[in-house]
Amino acid sequence: MLDETFKNHQYDDLQTCPFCGELGLMPGDDLNCPHFVAAFQDGDWDDDLCPPVFCNGFRYKRGELSAAIQKTSGVVRRVKPGTARHPRIEAYFSVSADEAAELRHRFCKLPVNGTHCGTCGNTAAVVSDAGEIICAMCGGPANV
């Protein structure tokens, strides 16, 4: 795996695919380049900030996905350190679009039905790594 580290505000570089030049870290799966696997966020954005990127890692089993990525060739890990107002972000891209899709599919969390997101209105949720039920679309708190 190739590691790339970016400065605190290099979001354009962080989300640009190293293989095709298209964007990852977008809110809709259909908006991301096919090489984008997932992006994990450690920490939170300050309330007065509009996040310039979207981290979809809450949709995946992080430990299992990270372990599989370690064994996969052709993966680039891009890291942006966190600050007092911005989270640390770790994004993964695979040289193989098919491999990226397989990783997303294999380690996707199962949805929790019967929920309603108070942030975006979505009705599908997943269980976070902390055991909370969160929206599968935006990661916000889901009402059961």
Sign, Cα dihedral of 36, 41, 112, 31: negative
pLDDT above 80 (res 144)? no
Q: Give per-residue pLDDT as tens, 58-78.
A: 999 999 999 999 999 999 999
Average pLDDT for the chain: 94
| DSSP classification of residue 31 | G
Sign, Cα dihedral of 93, 83, 29, 126: positive
Q: Give per-residue pLDDT as tens, 89-136.
A: 999 999 999 999 999 999 999 988 888 888 888 888 999 988 999 999
**Does the global pTM surpass 0.75?**
yes
Residue 143, strand partner residues: 116
What amino acid is encoded at 27 in this protein?
Answer: P
Q: Which secondary structure element, helix H or strand E, spans residue 104, and what is its range?
A: helix 97-106
12 touches 80 (CB < 8 A): no
Taking every pair of Cα atoms in the chain, the longest distance, rounded to a whole number of angstroms, is 41
Q: What's the average model confidence in pLDDT over 11-32?
A: 95
